[in-house]
Amino acid sequence: METETRNLRKEISEKLKDETLRDALGRFSEAYPIARAKAYENAGDIETLRDALRQMKIDTVARIEEVADRFEAEATKRGAKVFRAKTGSDVKEYLVNLCKEKGVKRIVKSKSMASEEIDLSKHLETAGISTTETDLGEWIVALAGQKPSHMVMPAIHLSRFQVAEYFSKELKTDIPPDIAFMVQAARKELREKFLRADMGISGANFGIAENGAIGLVTNEGNARMVTTLPRIHVVIIGYEKLIPAIKDAATILKILPRSATAQLMTSYMTMIAGPTPAMVKRDGKWVEEEKEMHIIILDNGRLKAAHDDKFKEIFQCVRCAACLNVCPVYTLIGGHVYGGHTYAGGIGAILTAFLSGMGEFEQFQELCIGCRRCTTVCPGKIDIPGLIEELRIRNVQEKGLPFLLKQTFENVVSNRKLFHGLLRLAAIGQKPFQKGRLIRHLPLFLAGMAKDRSLPAIADVPLRDRIGKIKKKIDKPVKRVVFFSGCTIDFVFPETGESVFKVLQDLNMEALFPEGQSCCGKPVIALGDVETTKKLAKENIRALEEQNPDVIIVACPTCTESLQQYAELLKDDPEWGPKAEGMAKKVREFCSFVAEEYGKRGRLTKTGDGPKVTYHDSCHMKRVLMIDKEPRQLLEAAGCELIEMKDADKCCGMSGIFGVKYAELSMPILEQKINNIRDTGAEIAACACSGCMVQIQGGLDKQLPGVRMKHVADILAEKIKD
Amino acid sequence: MEITNEIWKRHFPAENSGAYLFPEFEMRAKAVSAEVFRVPSAAEAREALIRLVDNVRAKKAVVVESPLQEAAGITEALRSRGVTVYTEAADIAAHADTADIGISGVEFGIAETGSVFQDGCDIATRLITILPPLHVVFLQSAHIVPGITEAFDIISQSFDRGCVGFITGPSRTADIERVLTIGVHGPSRFAIIAVDEEPKGGDA
C-alpha cells in the first residue's frame, strides 16, 4: 500500500477545532469508564476474566497453524468452502471470481474490519458489483466517503446534522436531523437491499476450531440478515480470531460486549457452523436450498506477527476498542488523526505496522504518549505502549534516526560533560524570557509551547553544585544511599533534590550524589535509539556502583523504570548484563522506600491538620511501578489533609518530548488536569515525578496561580527541623 | 447428525438451573428493553399473546411451532382472532417481511445477561426472529441457567453444526451521536412469554 506523507501537526490543529468531535469524544470518555465498571458488576472478578482471555489467546497463537488447520477441516466437513488468503489481493480475486461464477450482482455486508483493511467494498464496486455496508455506522461513514474513526462506533465523529445531510443526498429526499427518524429511514432503505442481495459478506468475532463455527456479536441485527437472507454467505476472518474450543467463546463473550459497549450481551450473538438452509425463489416459488458458505481466512501480515516473539501479543486483541476509550490522545482527536488506514489509536498503530506496513505506522506512532492507561482496561492485557516502543526501536534499527536527533543523541546527550555544559548555558540564555523560576513567554514560533503553561527555567545552580552545602556528616549511618536525580531534578528542580537529601539524612542514612551520573536514557530509547541508551546505561551503572551503595534512590518514576530496565537492555552483554542486573536490585523509588522506612519507625501515621493537598498519580508511578498508596500515606504522615481529585491517575499530558513537540495536543490534556485540581479546593498539588511537575507547575502558573506544585519529598522535608 | 434443539436438554444441568433464577433473568431482560410476561399456565400464555396481538393490531403472523405454543394452542387462537398465520417455510419466506408479528420457541434463558438461547438452524425460525417488527418467544420459566459460562457448558455439548445464538432484547443501535435507538434492522419489540406449566408429555 502506498504511504502518503501526512502532516500530523496540521491534522491535529484542525481536529482540535472540530467541536462536534471534541464534544462527542469528550462526553464519551467521561461516560465510558463508569458504564464499563457497571457492566462488569455481575461478571465476577474482572482480573480473573482478563487473565483467562489472555491465557487462552496465548495458548492459541503458540499453535496457530494447528488451530487453523482444525478450523478449516471442521468447517469443510460441515460443507463450508475454506480459502486461505495470504493478501488482500487474494481475497479480492477470489470474491470477484466467485461473483462472476455465481452471477452475483448485489452484496450486503455486515461489519468486518478485515474487509476495511483491504478496501474490499471499493474493489467490488469497481468490478461492477453493488456492495452495501449495512451496519448503520459503517453505512453512514461509507455515504460520507470516509473511514470509520472508531472500531466499535464508526461514525462517532459525526453529528446528527451531518448524518442528515448524507442521508438526504443518498435518499434524494429531505431527511430531518431526527435520530429516530433517520434510523427508520435507514431500516427501510437497507431492508430492500437485504431482501434483494445475492450474497452476504460478514466478518467474525471468533472462529471455533472444534466445530468450524464462526461467531458474530451485533446489536442491529444486520449480521443476522446478512448471514440468513442471501443464498451465498462469505465470511472474512483474520487468523487472530481463531479459538480452539466452543467453550472458549464463553471467555470472549463474558468480556467483549462489556468492554466494547458496556453491555452485558449484545442484542444478537450468532454462531454458524457450516451452511444452513436458505430460502430461494425459483420460478416464482420459495424453496428451501442449502446455502453456500465460504470462509476466507485472512493473513495479510498476521502470521508474521504470530511468529514474532513480541508481536504475537496482538493476537490477544478482541477489537473491543476499550483502549481507545480511555486514551487521553484518542479521546481528544479521534481515529482519523490518531490512526492509520483502518485501525485507530495505540493498538491501531501496532496493527497498522503489521497489516499496512511500517511506513504508515511511522506517520502517527508518536501520538502514543506511553501513559499506559490502555493497559489497565485491555481485556487481553496487551502491552500496547511497550509494543509501540519496540516498533520504534526496530524502525530506528532499520532506517536510522532523523539526522538532527541522531546528532543530538550521539554527540550531545551521550556526552555527559557537553550535555550538562549546554544545560548550564541554557540557564543563562533563557534570562530574557524568565520571570522568577518560570518562563512565561517565548518568542514567535515557540509561543504555542508557553501559551497555556509556563515552562520551567533551568536553575542557576544545579543540584550537583549544591551537594557540598546540603550533605551532612551522619554518625553510624544505617544505610549508604546513592541518589540518582535524573536531569530534571538536577537542573530544573534542584530544591527537590535537596529535599530528598534532607529526608534521607533525617533517616540517619548517608546520602551521596555521584558526579558521573547522566541522563537515564528514557527520552532516547523512547525514540528508538538503543545504542545511545546502552552507552548512557553503562555510564550510569559505573557512576552509581562505584559508590558501593546499599540502596539507589530515584525520585522520578520514569528514571526508576529506566534504571531497572538496564538489565534487559544489556542482557546480551556478558560484562555489563550481570552488573545491570545486580544494580537493578538496589534501585528504589523514593516514596515507596521512605514509606517503608517511616513505617519501621512508626512515623507513617496521620498527623496534624496541615494544608489541603491533592495528589496526582504519574502514569509510570502508578502503572509501571504500581506505587499509589505510599505517596498518599506519606502526605498524610506529613500532616496534609488529602483530597482526591477526579481522574487522579490520568496523564497530565507531558510525556517527555511529546508535551513539547505536540504542545497543542498536550494543552487540552493539561487543562483537564488543572480543572480537576481546581475542583478539589486544595492549596497544594503534589506528585512524585519531575516530568509531571514541569507540566503541572506550568499549567498552574498560567491557569491556577493560587495553587503550588510540590514533590512529595518537598512536603516531607518541610516537616523536618534543620 | 443431531440438531441442537433436539439434544440440548440432555445436557441441561438439573442442579444449578431453574425458576429460582427467573427474577434475575427477568430483571436483566427488562433492563435491555425486552418485555417479559411470566404466566403459570398454557391457557394464560395464550391470553398474554392475545393481548400482544391486540396491542399491535396484528393482521398477519409468521409462526414456527414449539411444544409450549402447541400446548397453549397459539396458532388456533390467532386464527380464531382473525389473524392470518403462516407456518410453512415457503409462506414464511414470502410473508415474514410484511408480517406484524413473529412467534417462535426458545430453548433456555441466561440470568446473567437476560438473553435467551435459540437454535436457529431452521431457516423459518431465523426469518421470524429478524424480519417482523415484533418478535414473541415462548420460554419454559424453569429453563434458566445462571450465566454465559453455564450456557456454554450446554452449548459445547450440543452444538455441532447449524446456527445457534443468543437474543438479548430488541434490535438496537447507538451509531448516531451515541443515542440509543431501538429497532434498526431487526425487531423493535422483543417479548418473552415464560410459562411455568410444562407442556403435556412433560419432556422438560
B119 contacts on A by Cβ (under 8 Å): none
CB contact under 8 A, B165 and A219: no
- B4-195, what's its fold? Rossmann fold (3.40.50)
Choose among A180, A184, A268: nearest Cβ to B165: A268
- CA–CA min distance A266, chain B (Å): 6
Of A268, A298, A328, the one marking the end of a domain is A298
Q: What Å distances lie between residue A541 and A308, A587, A620, CA to CA?
A: 31, 11, 22
Name the DSSP letter for residue B98.
T
Task: Map grid coordinates 464463553 to a residue.
Answer: A250
Above 70 in pLDDT, residue B34?
A: yes
Q: CA-to-CA distance for A373 and A652, rounded, in angstroms?
A: 12
Per-residue confidence at A409, pLDDT binned at 50, 70, 90?
Answer: confident
- Which residue has 449484545 as its cell numbers? A266
In one letter, which amino acid is B10? R
A218 domain residue, yes or no:
yes
CA of B126: which chain A residue's CA is closest?
A228
Q: What percent of chain A has pLDDT over 90?
A: 80
pTM of the model: 0.90
Q: Which of B185, B190, B192 to mutate to test the interface with A (most CBs of A within 10 A)?
A: B185
CB B105 within 8 Å of CB B68: yes
Distance in Å, alpha carbon of B125 to nearest chain A alpha carbon: 10
Question: CB under 8 Å to A656, separation ≥6 — which residues?
Answer: A370, A522, A523, A526, A558, A691
User: 434458566: which residue's cell?
Assistant: B144
d(CA A222, CA A193): 11
Q: Is the pLDDT of residue A692 over 80?
A: yes
- pLDDT > 90: percent of chain B: 91
Q: Does A62 touch chain B (CB under 8 A)?
A: no
Which amino acid is located at A513 in the chain? Answer: F
From the CA of B148, how many Å to the nearest CA of chain A? 6
Q: Which of B115, B177, B180 is the best residue to mutate to test the A interface, defined by the most A CB atoms within 10 Å of its own CB?
A: B177
B203–chain A Cβ distance below 8 A for any pair: no
A225 touches chain B (CB under 8 A): yes
3-state SS, A132-157, equals EECCHHHHHHHHCCCCCCCCCCCCCC
Residue of A nearest to B187 (CA): A221
| Residue A247 sits at the chain B interface (C-beta within 8 Å) | yes
pLDDT of residue A352: 93
Residue A113 and residue A355: Cα distance in Å, rounded? 12
pLDDT at B202 over 80: no
Q: Which residue has the higher pLDDT, B146 or A8?
A: B146
Q: Cβ distance A314 to A240 under 8 Å?
A: yes
pLDDT at B1 over 60: no
Of A154, A182, A220, which is closest to B186 when you measure between CB atoms?
A: A220
Domain boundaries, chain B: 4-195
Q: Is A272 in Cβ contact with B175 (below 8 Å)?
A: no
The pLDDT value recorded for residue B203 is 46
Asked if B3 is an interface residue toward chain A (Cβ–Cβ < 8 A), one would say no
Is residue A60 a contact partner of residue A315, using CB atoms and an 8 Å limit? Answer: yes
* C-alpha to C-alpha distances, A207 to A134, A240, A558, nearest whole angstrom: 22, 9, 41
Domain-embedded: residue A112: yes
- Look at residue A470 and tell me if it is in a domain: no
Which element (helix H / strand E) includes A232? strand A232-238
Chain B hits for A210, CB-CB cut-off 8 Å, are 156
Asked whether the predicted pLDDT for residue A201 surpasses 50, the reply is: yes
Q: How many CB atoms neighbour CB A614 within 10 A?
A: 26
Residue type, position A11, single letter: E
Contacts of B51 (CB under 8 A, 6+ apart): none
For chains A and B, count residue pairs whose Cβ atoms are closer than 8 Å. Answer: 185
Q: Does B164 touch chain A (CB under 8 A)?
A: yes
Which residue matches cell numbers 546527550? A413
Distance in Å from the first CA to the final CA of chain A: 66
Q: Does the beta-carbon distance from B90 to A285 stay under 8 Å?
A: yes
Distances (CA, A) of A510 to A483, A499, A598, B195: 10, 14, 16, 78
Report in angstroms the alpha-carbon separations of B67 from A501, B75, B87, B199: 81, 12, 14, 6
Chain A contacts of B166, Cβ < 8 Å?
Answer: 265, 268-269
The shortest CB-CB distance from B171 to any of A43, A180, A220 is to A220
| Domain closes at, from A298, A323, A357 | A298
Residue of A nearest to B190 (CA): A267
Q: How confident is the prediction for chain A on average, in pLDDT?
A: 92
Cβ atoms B86, B62 nearer than 8 A: yes
Mean of pLDDT values over A408-424: 75
CB contact under 8 A, B161 and A78: yes
Q: Please give the average per-residue pLDDT across A49-56, as a whole number.
A: 98
* Boundary (domain end) residue, out of A268, A283, A298: A298
Q: What is the pLDDT of residues A582-618, one digit of tens each?
A: 999 999 999 999 999 999 999 999 987 789 999 999 9
Contact state of A250 with B122 under an 8 Å Cβ cutoff: no
Tell me the sheet residues that pair with A218: A268
Beta carbons of B126 and A224 less than 8 Å apart: yes
Cα–Cα distance, A677 to A692 (Å, whole number): 14
Minimal Cβ distance to B175: which of A43, A137, A228: A137
Give the minimum alpha-carbon distance from B200 to chain A in angstroms, rounded to a whole number: 31
Chosen from A179, A183, A288, A295 to mutate, greatest number of chain B CBs within 10 A: A183
Give every strand in the sheet of A434-435, ordered side by side. A434-435, A438-439, A455-456
Which residues on A lie below 8 Å from B91 (Cβ)? 286
Of A42, A140, A273, the CB nearest to B162: A273
C-alpha cell at A201: 459478506
Question: Is the Cβ pair B186, A28 closer than 8 Å?
Answer: no
Q: How far apart are CA A485 and CA A43, in angstroms?
A: 45
Surface of B (24-83) touching A: CB under 8 A: 28, 32
Q: Cβ of B126 under 8 Å from any chain A Cβ?
A: yes
For chain A, what is the domain count? Answer: 2
Q: Is the pLDDT of residue A332 over 50?
A: yes
- Would you call B173 and A225 a contact, using CB atoms and an 8 Å cutoff? no
> Do A254 and B155 count as a contact with CB atoms less than 8 A apart?
no
Residue A695 reports pLDDT greater than 60: yes
Predicted confidence at residue A433, as pLDDT, reads 66
Q: Is the dihedral of CA A370, A374, A375, A380 positive or negative?
A: negative
Nearest-10 Cα torsion for A301, A306, A312, A315? 80
pLDDT band with cut points at 50, 70 and 90 for residue A396: confident
CATH of the domain at A71: 3.40.50.10420
Query: How many CB atoms neighbour CB B65 within 10 A?
Result: 15
Percentage with pLDDT > 70 across chain A: 95
Distance CA(B155)–CA(B142), nearest Å, equals 18
Please say whether the beta carbons of A388 and A350 come within 8 A: yes
Closest CA to A490 of A309, A286, A709, A690: A690
> What are the cell numbers at A548?
558501593
The 10 Å Cβ neighbour count of residue A431 is 10
CA atoms of A714 and A335, how far apart (whole Å): 41
| 21-40 of A, contacting B, C-beta below 8 A | 24, 27-28
3-state SS, residue A242: strand
Other beta carbons less than 10 A from residue A52's beta carbon: 17
Smallest Cα distance from B194 to chain A, Å: 19
Pairwise CA distance, residues B26 & B15, whole Å: 20
**Are residues A206 and A252 in contact, defined by beta-carbon separation less than 8 angstroms?**
yes
3-state secondary structure of A82: strand
The Cα–Cα gap between A275 and A254 comes to: 27
CB-based contact B153 A180, cutoff 8 Å: no
Pair type for strands A708-711 and A684-687: parallel
| Domain CATH code at residue A710 | 3.40.50
* Residue A249 included in any domain: yes
| Residue A501 near residue A511 (C-beta atoms within 8 A) | yes
Binding-face residues of A in 574-593 toward B, CB within 8 A: none
Q: A262 by DSSP, 3-state: which?
A: coil
Contact A496, A488 (CB under 8 A): no
Q: Using 50, 70 and 90 to split pLDDT, how confident is the model at A350? A: very high
- The mean per-residue pLDDT over the stretch B149-167 comes to 96
| Across A572-576, B12-16, B44-48, B64-68, least confident range | B12-16
Ramachandran area for residue A541 (φ above 0: left; ψ -120 to 50: alpha; else beta): alpha
Interface touch A272/B163, C-beta < 8 Å? yes
What is the Cα–Cα distance from A619 to A560, expressed in whole angstroms?
13
Q: Test A182 with B89 for CB contact under 8 angstroms.
A: no
Question: Which chain A residue has its CA at the smallest distance from B179's CA?
Answer: A179
Name the nearest CA neighbour of A235 among A209, A216, A220, A222.
Answer: A216
| Interface probe with B: pick from A38, A158, A166, A268, most Cβ of B within 10 Å | A268
Give how far A621 is from chain B: nearest CA, Å: 34
Beta carbons of A24 and B93 less than 8 Å apart: no
Cβ <8 Å between A279 and B93: yes
Q: How far is A206 from chain B (nearest CA, A)?
A: 14
The closest CB to that of B173, out of A136, A160, A264, belongs to: A136
Closest approach of B199 to chain A, Cα-based (Å): 28
**A626 in contact with chain B, both atoms CB, cutoff 8 A:** no
Q: Report if residue A209 sits inside a domain.
A: yes
Structural domain that includes position A271: 40-298
Residue of higher predicted confidence among A451 and A286: A286
Are residues A191 and B97, on separate chains, in Cβ contact within 8 Å?
yes
Q: Report pLDDT for B204.
A: 41
* Nearest Cβ partner for B163 among A222, A267, A276: A276
Cell of B74: 397459539
Each residue's pLDDT tens digit, A639-679: 999 999 999 999 999 877 777 778 888 999 999 999 999 99
Confidence of residue B4 (pLDDT cuts 50, 70, 90): confident
